[in-house]
Amino acid sequence: EKGGWDSFMDKEIHEDPAAVQQTLMGRLSEDGEIQLDEVRIDENELKSIDKIVVVACGTASYAGMVAKYAIEHWVRIPVEIELAHEFRYRDPILTPRTLVVAISQSGETMDTLMALRHAREQGSKVLAICNTQGASIARESDAVLYTHAGPEVAVASTKAFVAQITAAYILGLYLAQIKGTVFRDEIRGTLDQLQAMPRKIQWILDTQVDTIAKAAAQLDDAKSFLFLGRHVGYPVALEGALKLKEIAYTFTEGFAAGELKHGPIALVDEGEPVVFIVPPARGRNILHAKVISGIEEVKARGATIIAVAEEGDPDVDRYADFVFWRPECPTLMSPLVDVVPLQLFAMDMANQKGYDVDKPRNLAKSVTVE
């Protein structure tokens, strides 16, 4: 059961490292190739794929958004993310060369199931990224890539999210391998980076828990939170915002940091808490400079800054009221670590307010109605 943890959510966040590790296991051969024997779609057919459409809901859709940045970079084909319920009831452009990827922890989300049925009726191949063996979405797809996160009980999805990103990255690298869009050495290097991530997530769990709990204790009466990120930090911001609204019932909005001056900065007032996902600082990363300038802008308007940032980032130290540190890693890998403090923060906020973190009001673990 909970195995000594206060809640399933707490237990499952602490299983984030294992979720990534187990999802990688058995998929890499000794010579560093990706082996996906389980994907029974003909290799030539996969080679001819010219577009990916991800259909999913909630957290699973944010995992898809993260994967878009990586897969487009590696495979050089467009990746679209659609909320399954929106996809189903318009007239999406699908061809036999479109690969539809349905991402679902439970595998029973009706909106996602209806979307994949629709895609198959249009002649597209569907690959499911699913955490539940034999679930409807897995059974009705042409192929399944299981996330091996283990059963997720808490309504708020945590370890499934990092496992979904991992599985989608493996799929992306596999497509790059068979299409030859990335040099072998580079694929190998990226796999090494992925394999280092469980250790990096563990570092957060080992060192940041107290800092995060203290921040939650000081911020628990805030009426609203804004979450901002750029590039892969953007879907992480959306996911952080969803976690907090879902279990702590705090009004949150997540958006792309570049949008600030196009409207949302009007919301920023004295004391408004704003969470920034700060990109890696090293190598004169242009994204880093841009996010820091966003921090400066909202700081100048009196906002309370909460930052998720790379260990020792001097710019962040200068401006942030609260910092959740994460270890150094490449940009594309950063969502796997950046989301972890946000999961812990949402849990601490909910606990602080006395809510049941595992069973938030009005929500079900799997949404089996449209």
Positions touching ligand M6R (CB under 6 A) are 57-60, 104-106, 109, 112, 155-157, 242, 246, 366-367
Q: Tell the smallest beta-carbon distance from residue 105 to ligand M6R (Å).
A: 3
Establish whether 2 is a catalytic residue: no
Residue 75 or 116: the one with the smaller Cβ distance to ligand M6R is: 116
Residue 294 or 341: the one with the smaller Cβ distance to ligand M6R is: 341
Residue 195 or 366: the one with the smaller Cβ distance to ligand M6R is: 366
Q: Which of 290, 353, 359, 365 is catalytic?
A: 365
Q: Tell the smallest beta-carbon distance from residue 242 to ligand M6R (Å).
A: 6
Cα dihedral 108→150→7→361 (10° resolution):
-10
Give me the residue whose beta carbon is nearest to ligand M6R. Answer: 58
C-alpha 125: how far from its chain's center? Answer: 24
Q: Tell the smallest beta-carbon distance from residue 81 to ligand M6R (Å).
A: 13
Residue 98 or 131: the one with the smaller Cβ distance to ligand M6R is: 131
Q: Tell the smallest beta-carbon distance from residue 246 to ligand M6R (Å).
A: 5
Residue 293 or 368: the one with the smaller Cβ distance to ligand M6R is: 368
Q: Tell the smallest beta-carbon distance from residue 280 to ligand M6R (Å).
A: 26
Active site residues: 365
